[in-house]
Amino acid sequence: MDTNPIQNASKKSEFSNSSRLLILQGLVPIATNLVSSQLEAFSGRLTEALFKLADQTLRPEEASHSFQAYQMLKRNSTTFYRLVAGQVNAALAKEVSTVNIRKKAKPGEKQDFSLVTFEEMENKVLLGNLSQALEVSNAEQLVALNTRIGHVLRRTPISVAQNPFRPEVFIQAVYHAWMEFDAMPETHLLVLRLLQPEIFLQLTPILQELNNAMVERGILPDLTEAYRDNQRKKGPVRSDDIADKNPHLHNKLKNMFSPSAAGNSPLAQGGHGNNQRGDLQWTEGGTPGAAGNMQGRQDTITIDRQFFDYLTTIQRAAPVQFVPGSFDTAPLRQLKAQAPSDGLTHIDQNTIELLARIFDFVFNDPAIPGDIKGLISQLQIPTLKVALMDKDFFFKESHPARVLIDTLAKSSILLSADAGGEDPLYQVIEGIVERVQQEFDQQIDLFSDVVTDLEAFLKEEEQKSEEAISKPVAEALQQEKMRLAREFAENDVALRVETGEVAGFLESFLLNQWIRILTIAHSVKDQKPHALENALKTMDDLIWSLKPKNSAEERKELVSKLPSMLTLLNAWLNAIKWDEPERVLFFSKLAERHAAIARAPLEFSPRRQLEIAVNIAQRASERRLSRHAQGQLDKPSDEWMELVETLERGVWVDFARSNGTTTRFKLAWVSPKRTRYIFTNRQGHDAFSISGDQLVAKFREGAAVQVVAETVVDRALEAALQDPTE
């Protein structure tokens, strides 16, 4: 595959006019080669559809045209391949050359259809319907390609209509190839009606490979960041205020922290105070005392300086220890109970009780290891000081202190059960907690700083993990490539066996030996595309050589083709080193059959011709039914298959060992076709590869369980405010 323009260009974010054209031109041979690799399967589907139409239609004229098209395509498939490949290459090259000068339709501009015939209108409708269906089914890959091409052209985003590799271009190319292939106008519309998504070329792998080629060129490897940049250009990101996501919860919080809610809060207990004391006062803004954006809250927040200094003393004196099961004596509730009745406002009391309930929820979460709960418990006093100063802790998901608790809880799933204090991640978390305890006073940004440190550590570990799995990834890719090559080879043989025209001993030879040859040919088709074409032609010639010959011309053609065909046949069998005695028996039987065909009567009687046709039809029917039944057996679908199909890199899975223990691994890599999955520990070590089928079996048996990392503060807040009567 000629991809030099993609691979050798310098990886820059900006492109000159000439380099833009070279980049897109480099994609054309990639797409053309991928189309060529599908042409045999596509031709087989179209041939079958033509035959079915000829057999089932009630209109004699349509049946005749369909059958003629079927016979023509079956006999001249190689010519059809050449025409389609040529039309696709020419169409894509033309689209790429004009991508920078394509004119847009003016607003209100309409086409004049007054002189368009009914047939032309129907053509447009059919082409449009197929284009739309393929755009929908390939939406994800098209959007990615639109974004990358738009980035190259410096006019992101572009629409599908501006994409030179859009489905419409492939459809038009195939349609024009058919019109050149068959000059009969009657078959043009007939074939166009048959071109449904399930019959047409499979565009998903083509578009995927084009995206991969652009990623190799360094063009937007991370589309997530590109989308984020686009959103920033379009306008501000949607607020993370709880009012936007859960208005009911927002109203509860607003009432709880409203000055007029004294005595009405379900959380407040004890005296409320009158707020007429010599308290320390912080005003609105990004400093302590900010009222945030919540409507109905105080414009200023007052906190008793003596109480605040007391909290600082407790915070720095000694770590608050977490004792499982002792939630009723949590330090937060002790502080509220010990405070003078007039020392805390009702808002202060509500803040303390709500925060205590949030920590109760965290401490009861079974997904968080006990060691991490112990560290999180030491953040109770600093978090209380933050919540007293800034009620946005409860109202905004992005609040730094809230993000820290969530990040600690989520990162805890990365810790192995037996690592303990020796784990570098545990030591980083421990250092972060200690820093907050010792340094935090009124600087809320300190929470953002420590979260950044933790995320930087995790990113560094992730990069090391990527490097560690490079070899397993290469091995898994090779395994997937060979598996797909085997599937293609099996399909190539099955399509021919299903015709019922393959002799019994030859069918066995194709299934046991020639599939091995085709597997090799498919696996090297990118480097040696002629190898696959040669192997398929040799197989087709071999099958043809054993069909009955009903004329002297056919027998003469057989005799002339045999020497070169047998030479190629032996060369391929030498490549797979098939030297067993069965090879001698096969060629002996082959020679006998060829001799029998050469000695057969010059003309078969009508009765004999009918018998042959009936036998072929019966065998074809049996093969198709058998393959259909096998396909039904091979596709059991259940929730576990759907789960594995949706697993994304970075998720964590607990695998049960034979000794009863459980080990946690991260999904580090998924093969492009999702046939292989590679799991590692956090550092990228102990990597193992597992097939999709094996992984489904483990989930189904309970030997694998996905670990879900959810936002703990969100869930805790919702649970804390849950009304028992709701």
What pLDDT digit, counting tens, does each position of 499-546 carry? 767 777 888 899 889 999 999 998 888 888 788 889 999 999 998 888
Write the DSSP symbol of residue 285.
Answer: S
Specify the domain boundaries for CATH 2.30.30.30 within the chain: 638-715
- Name, in order, each residue with C-beta under 8 angstroms of 631's C-beta and a sequence gap of 6 or more: none
What pLDDT digit, counting tens, does each position of 127-156 carry? 888 888 898 888 888 988 988 888 888 766
Q: Minimal CA–CA distance to 89: which of 2, 149, 187, 154?
A: 2
CA dihedral 97, 101, 105, 110 (to 10 degrees): -60
What pLDDT digit, counting tens, does each position of 376-397 carry? 888 888 988 888 888 888 888 8
Mean pLDDT in the chain?
Answer: 77
Using DSSP's 3-state secondary structure scheme, residue 302 falls into strand
CA dihedral 536, 537, 539, 543 (to 10 degrees): 140
User: What are phi and psi for residue 496, nearest 5 degrees?
Assistant: -85, -35
- Distance CA(214)–CA(164), nearest Å, equals 14
> Does the structure show a pLDDT above 80 at 339?
no
- For residue 146, the model assigns a pLDDT of 87
Inter-helix orientation angle 400-411/424-439, to 10° = 160
Q: May I ask the CATH architecture of the domain 638-715?
A: Roll (2.30)
- For residue 6, the model assigns a pLDDT of 33
Q: Minimal CA–CA distance to 452: which of 463, 460, 443, 440?
A: 460
- Distance CA(334)–CA(144), nearest Å, equals 56
- Distance CA(302)–CA(389), nearest Å, equals 8
Write the DSSP symbol of residue 514.
Answer: I
Instruction: Name the least confident of 75-84, 114-123, 403-412, 593-602.
Output: 114-123
Using DSSP's 3-state secondary structure scheme, residue 145 falls into helix
Which helix (H) or strand (E) segment holds residue 356: the answer is helix 346-363
Mean pLDDT of 339-356: 78
Mean pLDDT of 111-122: 56
- For residue 552, the model assigns a pLDDT of 79
Can you name the residues that pair with 704 across neighbouring β-strands? Answer: 655
CA distances from 515 to 399, 510, 562, 622 (A): 61, 6, 22, 21
**Longest alpha-carbon distance in the chain:** 120
Of residues 316 and 700, more confidence is placed in 700
| HSE-CB of 491 using CA atoms within 13 angstroms | 15
How does residue 210 score in pLDDT terms, banded at 50, 70 and 90? very high
Tokens 């937007």 correspond to 220
- Distance CA(500)–CA(723), nearest Å, equals 71
CA distances from 287 to 283, 348, 445, 548, 591 (A): 8, 18, 10, 93, 94
- For residue 275, the model assigns a pLDDT of 36
CA dihedral 351, 356, 359, 361 (to 10 degrees): -110
pTM over 0.85: no
Instruction: Name the least confident of 100-104, 114-118, 547-551.
Output: 100-104
What is the token pair recorded at 698? 């483990």
CA distances from 494 to 80, 104, 586, 693 (A): 21, 47, 20, 23
- Distance CA(558)–CA(554), nearest Å, equals 6
Using DSSP's 3-state secondary structure scheme, residue 464 falls into helix
- Distance CA(253)–CA(260), nearest Å, equals 13
Cβ of 9: how many Cβ atoms within 10 Å?
17
> Does the structure show a pLDDT above 80 at 352?
yes
Contact 164, 90 (CB under 8 A): no
Which helix (H) or strand (E) segment holds residue 169: the answer is helix 167-181
